[in-house]
Structure 1
Amino acid sequence: MKKTLLMRPLSLSVLAALTLPALAEGDETSNIERVSVIGTEQQLSATAGSVTRLDEQALAKFEYDDIGRILAQVPGVNIRSEDGYGLRPNIGFRGVTPERSKKINIMEDGVLIGPAPYSAPAAYYFPMTSRMTAVEVTKGPGTIQYGPNTVAGTLNLVTRPVPLSGEGMVDLSLGGDGYAKAHAYYGDTQGDFGYLLEGLRVQTDGFKELDGGGDTGFEKNDLMFKANWDLSSQSVDQLLEVKASYADEVSDETYLGLTDGDFAVNPLRRYAATQLAEMDWQHSQLQLTHHLSWQSLDVTTRAYRHDFERSWEKLNRFTSSQGGNVPSLLSVLTDPEQYWDYYQVLTGERDASIQQILVLGDNAREYYSQGVQMDGAMPVTLAGVTHNLEAGVRFHQDEIQRNHTEQNFLMTDGQMVATGESVRATTTNLETTRAWSVYIQDRIELGDWAFTLGTRGEDIDGYYRNRNRKPNAGDDWQRKEHRIWLPSASALYRVDEQQSVFAGVHKGFVPTSPLQDKRIEPEKSLNYELGWRYRNGASQAEVVGFFNDVDNLKESCSFSTAASCASDGDLDQDFNAGAVEVYGLEASINSYMRVTGELTLPWSVVYTHTQSEFKQGLDSDFDLWGEVDPGDEVPYLPDNVLTLTVGVAASDWRVTLLVNHTGEMREAAGQGVVLSGKVVPSHTLVDLSASYDVSANGQLYLKLDNLLDEVEIGSRRPYGARPTKPQQAFVGYKYHF
């Protein structure tokens, strides 16, 4: 491989193309196959938009397995906690509802990684962050390079590159609640051929205490293989790479939480009715990538295929063999005194009658996602002005097949016992989408100014089929299409060598899935930002104000929102809420103080302030909204999020403290729904990490998650109060060779 190909910096366009490595200063092991949607520090400084990159060194400080804890270090992020481990995270950027991260683009190595990002964007699969070497967040006008969702932003996870020479690592860790992690990789490049093999296993017994005993934890495995071939000639630099991976999870996870009263007594309790809950999934991916660099042209082509299959046994609802109305699980846990008999059945204190039958559902689903995408960049000089052109095209196809079933159980002597009735199918449908997307962007530099104009086009054809319909019911395929252009514009002015100001505007878009009635409109918005950036060596600061003018807010019905429509047969149905405004301020600063020749005090502050309001009244059946008055706020959006990180570092040891404060969040926007007037209280988490280099290659590390052991309500959805993770201690040893 030519050294010039390895070390040449990229234009910003190739950050979208992911053509070349994002090389940190002094990085001797990165190679061409490393992928990044942000790039080098120099490119970060020149970006007219809000971008954040956490590199491998930043990720290693706390050895987090939970993406929510990692993203606490990124401004503009709002998280809804659910299980305490981040198994199925809920991530939003700049005020979009975080529910199942469905409104942001989630990518791995620049490719959409969600199970079915067009047909069913809820991210029930999320890659294991422990094996990532970088986490990158793009917000603002740069989002139009990715899509299909352009309202909020893009999260890109970067996997380990094939090393340029033989190297490996073994990382072993033990912790409280039966936690164990084993992580290893080895790779090498000999001549024109390089390879990498990486494996990771994480397991725990869980921190919740199940009535009657039993595990409440999980086991996760992840295996990845990469191989690349250098095909370069004298005139053309080329690299061909294959990536294949397999991952699985078995977790004893439930949607059922606690009443507020029980939470106050023991927030870690789990009711007996959750004893059969289990998520079991498998994920595989295959990706073929070709990089080409010829003179000033850079092109990256990718073909990819992802398969995801899951089975989730969990408590769905109550039913009665005599018919009639029964309360929802959320109603029982919100007002247990009114539904005392049902509450005692959930806790196992009372045997169930035929009016209190427990319905367990298996939300079995099969997904695939596949496509081909090509991204390229080339500078062109016209009339003495250099245009840094970048463009891309992608054909994508994905599908979700739902095979949901339910089975009736009775609570008998604290045990869930099947009634003997047959398992019945509930939701058996199919959604599939074919989408063409293109983008083009031009960046022009004129003195201290840089201007960027771009647009993205989405051509989406979605199809929905209810497989329960009889063959003679006519055309059983329902079609929905979207044709839209999403323009963007930004400008940056360099005040001096350290400072710049920037501004941008772009059109936001979130499509509806194929099953939606044609009267349901996609979410559209105009998004504005204005920012100031300072970079001077190790000191960096950025302040960005943003305003999202949403023309038509869209949300969807799901079990994870505890929406009653899910039990009424309208699972994944979308709802519209009209105009909403979201606005706020993002700020970050990081630097260090040198105490002695080798002792330094690194520190950082990340702050986000967000406000939102519905612009019109609304009377909705959707459980996150209800009866909304103009001025009501969007749920699960804290006013303030603050993260402070302070450390002490020497040549062979380091200690870091992270304090994260999240303000209170509304559980529902308006009135007339079960959680009207309820809020998730503000809470503060403190994490501590320390490491010591016992040798040139070996490192011992210790960390304490939730140092103060403050357990708070993370949310009351889906069904009842859910705790944040209590204090957990870890000790580990990492050896590089």
Structure 2
Amino acid sequence: MNRFIFGLCLLFCVCSGALSQNLSGTVKDSSGAVIVNAEVSATRVKTSEKTIARTDRFGAFRIEGLGTGIIIIRVRADGFKTHYSSVNLNEGGSADFMLEPRSVAETVSVTSTFLAGSNENLERTAGAIQTIGRTELETARVFNFSEALRRIAGVSVRNEEGFGLRPNISIRGSSPTRSRKVLILEDGIPLSYAPYGDNSSYYHPPIERFNSIEVLKGSGQIEYGPVTVAGVVNYLTPNPPERRTITIKTIGGNRDYFNGSVGYSDNIESTGIVLNYTRKQGEGSRENLRSGVNDLSAKVIQTINSNNILTFKYSHFDESSQLTYSGLTEAEFAADPRQNPFLNDDLEFFREGLSVAHTAVLTATTSLTTNFYTSYFSRDWWRQSSNSEQRPSRINSDPDCRGMADLSTTCGNQGTPRDFRTIGFEPRLNAQFDLGGFNSQLNTGFRLHYETQNRRKWNGFTPGAREDGSQITERNLRNTLAFSTFIQNRFIWKKFSFTPGLRIENVRYKRSNLLNGATGKTDLTQLIPGFGVAYNPFSNTTVFAGIHRGFAPPSTSDILTNSGGVVDLDAELSWNIEIGIRTRPAEAVSVDATFFRNDYSNQIVSASVAGGVGSTRTNGGETLQQGFEINSRIDSNRIFRSDYNIYFQSAYTFLAAARFESTRFSSVPGYESVPISGNRLPYAPKHLLTSSVGTVYRGFNAFIENVFIGGQFSDDLNTIKPTANGQRGLIGSQMYFNATANYRVERMNSTFFVTSKNIFDRLFVVDRTRGIYPSSPRLIQFGWKWNFAK
């Protein structure tokens, strides 16, 4: 009997080993030197389940619990070409890999678009920086940028029309309106149509164009600019893969939602190509709101030789939407929170962008990346109301427009056609050298940037007018010429990094009123210093601290009047301090935590945010934003070495202080003499939390997500009781749930998924700047993605 039990146990162990094969090996370069921290991923062919490991200081890796059969191996590391191969675990559980070096120019051309550069540079970055990668964006099935950015601590996004095409982004308590206080980049290049003269996000490409998102909130912001008061959001486009890849994706859902895209990417000898087209359409959060978007992007990377690479990018975007500007009054919201009486309002956007980047490796330790970029953006918006006080805007101005009863018959509208052109040139030099016992990394460069705005305003004869009417009320030309330069040097000594830097911005404004002939000019110059320190006490841990000057230039319309006068309006300035830690205390745990303090000597709060439409915009004076933020994640499979993974991740922000300081008075009409010192800033919730729990098993992954946004004020008086026009009053706390499930069928090269946003169909107020905007209703979407790689 004992022999039988012993034999049964032995057979069980053998079978278990066969059913749970491990893979181990090494990763080296062509010279035989080991490669440390290389990523080795193993994907089961039958189930498409992926397991990832990294090489240790000996270049060795080990992946456990792979089962049997054939797996696909992908090995990648900074500075090397990605390696693909297949391994049959039935024939053994060991494999060694050799990576071919990528040319220096290839490495630089890729990392130059990142805010932190390579993984090694990330460990030396003296500031809070978070990334949402391609896998997370893909499996989360995010509907828009608002949903994605809420996964980063310190970031708050205010909803608007429900489709996410014009997100209002706030970082660490900054004013969220049109994301004006946030610098938005695409591959390191300014994305806004007028980052100096009108840094507003009326244009925002769909999230489907991008591969990942970076958010930088520390002193490293001074390398970019012009806006450095809050943070930098960098959207990264995909690079050509090693193999030809074709993708097709379709999504459908309630509220007449459709999202279809097709992509092609390839590497043909020395030329890499990425092409993508997306069509996105559906209904918004209210009646008579409907959006349709076409987005086409192309990227070509041409390797000239081992030291020179050219990157060409082109993008086309157009939007045709039935979209109003006005929110609801309290009475309208109470009667029907999703109503929109302005069914004749129409928006037509068109944008084309082109950029060329040349990467040149000058020496083994010196490289130069030169960017040229240009864009054209046309914005035509015809509407019968711009805020909840206008019912409608042409009442008593058009002779037969006596009220809302005449809205669709005898009331005209107002059109605001605007054209924006931007062109810029920006070389950046990176050099490494030894200086007095320090390993030194120098980044320096300059930018020459020019932008024009052609702004008109017309009164239309009829509700559906889309052409110039009989009366033009505004015709402005606004020009902005900006020159900036920066220098930032990282001194590395043992486990410490010290990074001082300086940016100089010079901005020249001109505004011409073509109706009365008035012209005004002015300029400003600002020095923006910064200093950061990082300490790496042990592997996978960085402790950092930094201080820098926050700067946001006033827009052309704020600093120059329509009569040519110069407004005594200073630039927005602050001192931003942060202390934090990035750590991976265990393979299964990651934590990024930061304390921050943004001390403004002159914060300019947008008029509509301070107290609704009609509020004045003046030098804002002192404000303080201070708090704590933390991103964290834990994965069970890294603890138990199991085939399945249960994970938890969260992004929490505690904005303890967001208040007016010094002697401050309200900007709400009729309350200009009321002191507001000590009041909380509008649209600055104290608590933000986005958390999710999910599971991954073979080809299946799913999660449920909870979003909590604390209560917030909508005006500088901190008004509690709502006003009749809906533009002031407390916005209560909000909590809702999202959920997503994906299933990969490898033999079909397909992934099927279902997602739901706001599962329980919660209704709440999200915005009051131009009247009440309701939350997006419950959305349910089904999708299929097919991808083929050869």
Give deviations 1:411-430, integer Å, cap 9, x for gaps.
Answer: xxxxx588x99532122111
Q: Would the alpha carbon gap of residues 553 and 28 (structure 1) be closer, same or farther in structure 2, given more than 3 Å must change?
A: farther
- Within the candidate set 736, 743, 758, 1:706 is matched to 758
- Within the candidate set 250, 269, 276, 2:339 is matched to 269
Q: Would the alpha carbon gap of residues 24 and 75 (structure 1) be closer, same or farther in structure 2, given more than 3 Å must change?
A: farther
- Unpaired runs of 5+ residues, structure 2, are 1-28, 38-75, 85-101, 396-400, 560-565
Hey, what does 1:223 align to over in structure 2?
A: 296
Q: Would the alpha carbon gap of residues 500 and 422 (structure 1) be closer, same or farther in structure 2, given more than 3 Å must change?
A: closer
- Within the candidate set 659, 670, 679, 1:613 is matched to 659
Distance 1:229 1:552 in 2: 46
Hey, what does 2:21 align to over in structure 1?
A: none
CA contact (8 A) 1:480 1:514 kept: no
Hey, what does 2:695 align to over in structure 1?
A: 648
Hey, what does 2:494 align to over in structure 1?
A: 447
Hey, what does 2:769 align to over in structure 1?
A: 717
- Within the candidate set 377, 396, 418, 2:449 is matched to 396
CA contact (8 A) 1:670 1:676 kept: no
Aligned AA (2:689): L
Hey, what does 1:162 align to over in structure 2?
A: 240
Q: Does 1:427 align with 2:427?
A: no
Secondary structure at the residue paired with 1:531?
Answer: strand
Q: Does 1:244 align with 2:289?
A: no
- Count of aligned positions: 671
Aligned AA (2:762): E
Hey, what does 1:336 align to over in structure 2?
A: none
Deviation at 1:679, TM superposition (A): 1.4
Hey, what does 1:62 align to over in structure 2?
A: 140
Deviation at 1:261, TM superposition (A): 4.3
Q: Would the alpha carbon gap of residues 54 and 623 (structure 1) be closer, same or farther in structure 2, given more than 3 Å must change?
A: farther
Hey, what does 1:14 align to over in structure 2?
A: none
Distance 1:51 1:693 in 2: 31
Q: Would the alpha carbon gap of residues 421 and 54 (structure 1) be closer, same or farther in structure 2, given more than 3 Å must change?
A: closer
Aligned AA (2:360): L
Hey, what does 2:580 align to over in structure 1?
A: 531
Q: Does 1:181 align with 2:181?
A: no
TM-score (norm 1): 0.85
Q: Does 1:406 align with 2:469?
A: no
Q: Does 1:694 align with 2:762?
A: no
Q: Does 1:316 align with 2:375?
A: no
Q: RMSD across aligned C-alpha pairs, in angstroms? A: 3.1
TM-score (norm 2): 0.79
Hey, what does 1:601 align to over in structure 2?
A: 646
Secondary structure at the residue paired with 1:48?
Answer: coil
CA contact (8 A) 2:177 2:606 kept: no
Give the fraction of aligned pairs with identical amino acids, expressed as a percent.
26
Aligned AA (1:593): S
Q: Does 1:585 align with 2:598?
A: no
Deviation at 1:196, TM superposition (A): 2.1
Distance 2:179 2:30 in 1: 40
Hey, what does 2:678 align to over in structure 1?
A: 631
CA contact (8 A) 1:290 1:300 kept: yes
Distance 2:603 2:374 in 1: 31
Q: Would the alpha carbon gap of residues 646 and 27 (structure 1) be closer, same or farther in structure 2, given more than 3 Å must change?
A: farther
Runs of 4+ residues over 6 Å off in structure 1: 558-561, 671-677
Q: Would the alpha carbon gap of residues 676 and 730 (structure 1) be closer, same or farther in structure 2, given more than 3 Å must change?
A: closer
Deviation at 1:309, TM superposition (A): 0.3
Hey, what does 2:600 align to over in structure 1?
A: 550
Hey, what does 1:473 align to over in structure 2?
A: none
Q: Would the alpha carbon gap of residues 83 and 504 (structure 1) be closer, same or farther in structure 2, given more than 3 Å must change?
A: same
Hey, what does 2:568 align to over in structure 1?
A: 519
CA contact (8 A) 2:718 2:730 kept: no
Deviation at 1:734, TM superposition (A): 0.6
Deviation at 1:537, TM superposition (A): 3.2
Q: Would the alpha carbon gap of residues 111 and 314 (structure 1) be closer, same or farther in structure 2, given more than 3 Å must change?
A: same
Deviation at 1:193, TM superposition (A): 2.0
Distance 1:296 1:614 in 2: 48
Q: Does 1:137 align with 2:227?
A: no
Deviation at 1:239, TM superposition (A): 0.7
Give deviations 1:621-655, integer Å, cap 9, x for gaps.
Answer: 45699544210111011110001111010121100
Alignment of 1:193-342 (within 5 A): 193-210=271-288, 216-233=289-306, 237-271=307-341, 274-293=342-361, 294-316=363-385, 329-330=388-389
Distance 1:624 1:723 in 2: 27
Secondary structure at the residue paired with 2:159?
Answer: coil
Distance 2:77 2:507 in 1: 32
Give deviations 1:377-432, integer Å, cap 9, x for gaps.
Answer: 111212222111111211111111101112366xxxxxx588x9953212211111
Hey, what does 1:15 align to over in structure 2?
A: none
CA contact (8 A) 2:754 2:781 kept: yes
Hey, what does 2:535 align to over in structure 1?
A: 493
Q: Does 1:149 align with 2:245?
A: no
Secondary structure at the residue paired with 1:70?
Answer: helix
Deviation at 1:685, TM superposition (A): 2.0
Aligned AA (1:57): T
Distance 1:518 1:564 in 2: 18
Aligned AA (1:159): T
Q: Would the alpha carbon gap of residues 162 and 25 (structure 1) be closer, same or farther in structure 2, given more than 3 Å must change?
A: closer
- Unpaired runs of 5+ residues, structure 1, are 10-20, 211-215, 318-327, 334-338, 340-344, 410-415, 471-475, 566-572
Distance 1:586 1:25 in 2: 35
Distance 1:24 1:217 in 2: 46
Give deviations 1:420-472, integer Å, cap 9, x for gaps.
Answer: 995321221111111111111111122222111101111111111111124xx
Aligned AA (1:733): W
CA contact (8 A) 1:250 1:279 kept: yes
Aligned AA (1:564): G
Larger Rg: 2
Q: Does 1:503 align with 2:572?
A: no
Distance 2:741 2:173 in 1: 34
Aligned AA (1:546): F
CA contact (8 A) 1:628 1:669 kept: no
CA contact (8 A) 1:668 1:675 kept: no
Give deviations 1:684-714, integer Å, cap 9, x for gaps.
Answer: 1211011001225211111011111112111
- Within the candidate set 391, 402, 416, 1:363 is matched to 416
Q: Would the alpha carbon gap of residues 435 and 155 (structure 1) be closer, same or farther in structure 2, given more than 3 Å must change?
A: same
Distance 1:303 1:417 in 2: 40
Hey, what does 1:468 align to over in structure 2?
A: 515
Secondary structure at the residue paired with 1:367?
Answer: strand
Give deviations 1:487-541, integer Å, cap 9, x for gaps.
Answer: 0011122233243321110001111123413411111111111112212434210
CA contact (8 A) 1:380 1:387 kept: yes
Hey, what does 1:482 align to over in structure 2?
A: 524
Q: Would the alpha carbon gap of residues 561 and 217 (structure 1) be closer, same or farther in structure 2, given more than 3 Å must change?
A: farther
CA contact (8 A) 1:65 1:130 kept: no
Hey, what does 2:45 align to over in structure 1?
A: none
Distance 2:512 2:176 in 1: 28
Distance 2:548 2:504 in 1: 13
